[in-house]
A and B are shown apart, each in its own frame.
Chain A
Amino acid sequence: MAAPATALKVEQVAVRFGGLVALSDMNFTVGEGEIVSLIGPNGAGKTTAFNVVTGFLDPTHGAVSFRGTPLNGLKPHQIADLGLIRTFQRTSVFPNDTVYDNFLVGLHRQGRVSLLEAILGLPRARSSQRRLRERARELVEWVGLERRAHDLAGSLSYGEQRLVGVALALAAEPSMLLLDEPVSGMNASETHTFVELIRSIRDRGVTILLVEHDMPMVMSVSDRIVVLNYGRIIAEGSPDVIRNDPAVIEAYLGQGAKRA
């Protein structure tokens, strides 16, 4: 595999909450157009790593850069502005807005007009509104929820909400997408659909970093896998390498296990 240009670079990142070490000396990179998964047992520091990359948490030590831009000290919305967009494990939608309105909010980055233009309803503001509505309708179609476009997002089923959450992130037109346990709570066929979805997103040129528990899913979709345990990276490599790595097997199943 030819080494692609680096999209995301995480260098010597450490996070401590008081005495608790959540992450220590984490180093990894994600290349442009890659699908990389971050895995590890519960409490290994995956979500902490996510929060550091997206600016929701400041690292105690170390640096993160995206396409050469250092992210240290940037607020989450500024990082989002660089095209680095994340999804969330639980709170993935705006529950009291309709599905359609959810996407309109998600399209925030595309809809910027000046305050005066918006209030006076100048042509540029109106054409921008029209474009956004068009785009929101496309997203509704894309997630296949045309019939429920005007229902509150909070009334959707769990799986549908996850889907809306991902579409919301896509609405922000990411160049890199970070998915936090996107398939947790989904059944096998839903997961399969979702894997197809992730691949199609990548084919649009979006780099993907994934945190996930579902091993078969991770193995099938990832180009590379980074394994965390107790805040440290214990292994890194292609799915085949990880599958047979003794340290990984031990972390997940304890000593003496034969199968991962």
Chain B
Amino acid sequence: MRAGIAILTVVAFASVPLWLRDPYLMNALITTGIFIIGAMSLNLLLGFTGQLSLGHIAFFGIGAYVSALTSLGFDAGFPFGLRIVHEPWPPIVGFVLAIIIAGFCGYLVGLLSFRVRGAYFVIVTISFAEVVRLVALNWVELTQGPLALTNIPSITIGLPGLGDLTLRTKLQNYYLVLAVAVIAYLLISRLVHSHFGRAMRGLMENETLAVSVGIDVTKTLTLAAVISAGIAGAAGSLYAHYIRIIDPEVFAFINTVTMVIMVITGGKGSLAGPVVGGMIFGLLPVFLRPIMAPEAQWIAYGGVLIVILFALPRGIVPSLAQRFAKRRSRPETVAPVAFSKCDAKEHA
């Protein structure tokens, strides 16, 4: 049944451009989709290992910059007197490099901080995002600093038999984002249902016990960080080639917070959670814009967040799933459980 819902959802999303012609709404859907991919990657860490990455936008931004610089080319000085002149490469190579380099940064951050977890990880990730933002702002030779990288080319994909296709229109980008989102979803789903995913859950719930059955903490958590950062990097790359201009503002803390809100309201630890939470908070500004001033929108945002968490504290998807499951299995729970040895103990 779950697979059925997933397929229906993908079909529904795929059919949207057939009836939706409004370019403003299409734009909102594309950026929302990109942020949903980011939120899914955050959920892999937050929901399945319990580690809160409050600098997650760093991996997203690194992906965006790597991809942009790869496809734009650069001529910049590096430490030790190195000077690298890079000729532009196709954006699709940038997309791949974005994943690899963001993933590598995830590896470094994970390795540094997973020896001490919890609050330390939160602080390390916040600091990491801030450092990366400062680098992007001040390494003007490479990143143009606040002047932004502009004219980033759109992604071109080679289609067999059709030649190269450059994705310039909103329609094309919409399907590109949808495709990447589906791949990211499947990847995360496979991962969390494999023994790697069970190791992550085990560590989150009872670390000493998990370790005692042979689960390697550092390896498991670092792996989650690498994959999470890599997916965030892919989302950043999509963002760079769609918006076609990026500046250091991409690293703003509010962008991480947006992803965290998407994950928490949708339901952390649930695969569909970030999609549901992402659709709500990604599209809310679209619906609020005609009726509210931007300042009031933030208040409405907060209001919606509070209402959702008050009514469904574990997030929308897990809470609804639980309610649904309860309704179906009510007769069973009423059936008497066999008198267990342990009831006897209580009377002893």
Contacts and interface: CB of A to CB of B under 8 A. Distances in A.
A204 to B, nearest CB: 18
Contacts, number: 125
Contact of B195 (A95, A97, A132, A159): A132
Contacts of B208: 56, 76, 88, 91
Given A113-B194, A158-B342, A106 B213 contact: yes
B340 A91 contact: no
Contacts of B187: 119
A21 B192 CA distance: 44
B141 to A, nearest CB: 38
Interface in A196-224: none
Contacts of B216: 75, 77
B213 A158 contact: no
B43 to A, nearest CB: 17
Nearest to A128: B195
B213 A113 contact: no
B209 A168 contact: yes
Contacts of A112: 195
Contacts of A148: 337
Interface in A84-130: 85-88, 91-97, 101, 104-109, 111-113, 115, 118-121, 125, 128-129
B191 A189 contact: no
Interface residues of B, number: 32
B341 A159 contact: yes
Contacts of B205: 94-97
A interface secondary structure, majority:
helix
B212 A160 contact: no
Contact of B213 (A85, A129, A132, A189): A85
A118 B213 CA distance: 20
Contacts of B190: 118-121
Contacts of B191: 118-119
A92 B213 contact: no
Interface stretch (B71-79, B196-204, B249-257): B196-204
A105 B211 contact: no
A260 interface: no
Interface string A136-152: 00000000000110000
Contacts of A97: 201-202, 205
A176 interface: no
Nearest to A104: B198
Interface of A: 54, 56, 75-77, 80-81, 85-88, 91-97, 101, 104-109, 111-113, 115, 118-121, 125, 128-129, 132, 147-148, 157-160, 165, 168-169, 171-172, 185-187, 189-190, 193
Interface of B: 187, 190-191, 194-196, 198-199, 201-202, 205-206, 208-217, 223, 337-338, 340-345, 348
Instruction: Identify the 4 closest CB pairs spanning chains A and B, nearest first.
Output: A157-B342, A118-B194, A80-B214, A111-B195
